[in-house]
Amino acid sequence: MTKVFLIRHGETDWNVARRYQGQTDTDLNANGQAQAQKLITVLAGQPFDHIYSSDLKRVMQTATYAGIPEADIIQDPRLREIHFGKFEGLTHAEVAEQYPDDLAMWEDDRENNIHGGEKMSEVITRVQSFYEHLRDDFNDGERMLCFAHGGTIAIFLSVAMGVDPHKWWQFLVENTGITEVNLYDSGTLLKKFNDTHHLD
């Protein structure tokens, strides 16, 4: 059994504007920095055997504002957000106005990467690889801390809990929400989901 703590990055200006962010390397805004700093009260004194992060800035910034030394973090591109191609930087309304046909084709079939980003199967494959790494490659009882994105955390949970990962949107994770799972060979125990009490 492996204990895994998953934390979504703090707020960015694109989150506020509800823009497709994907793999565009945005920074935390002032509120996102404050959210991440509040994680210190939750994480202080907790032992972790390994600490992982997406290599995108907003996630690494979240980890460091949360008190994690950068030298202790393993940056893993498998934890990157879904790549939305030419939709990135635009709101859904702007995409619908500028690329109506492309949007309709993509929403009808997420294996269609007409936007120039990733197919859903590609995202699922890389996140599943990371999940299997945590489940299979460590000693019993080790504790993992992972800073990532809302989309990749949702796909990780879908894979871990046997839910169709194409329905990842059923797991809504908020900025700096904390999710805790125990990974067993036989399945996954969800102990905590999207805990944001540190923001109160």
> Active-site residue numbers?
9, 81
Q: Which amino acid is at 174?
A: E
The two structure tokens encoding residue 93: 């309304």
β-pairing, 73-75 with 143-148? unpaired
Question: Any bridge partners for residue 192, and if so which?
Answer: 180
The packing angle between helices 57-65 and 30-38, to 10°, is 50
* Separation between Cα atoms, residue 144 and residue 47, nearest integer Å: 9
Which residue from 23, 17, 27, 42 is spatially nearest to 145, judged by alpha carbons? 42
For 68-91, the DSSP string reads --GGGEEE-GGGSPPP-GGGTTSB
For Cα atoms 102, 107, 110, give the angle at the middle one, nearest 5 degrees: 100
Q: What are phi and psi of 2, to 5 degrees?
A: -120, 130
The two structure tokens encoding residue 193: 């989901």
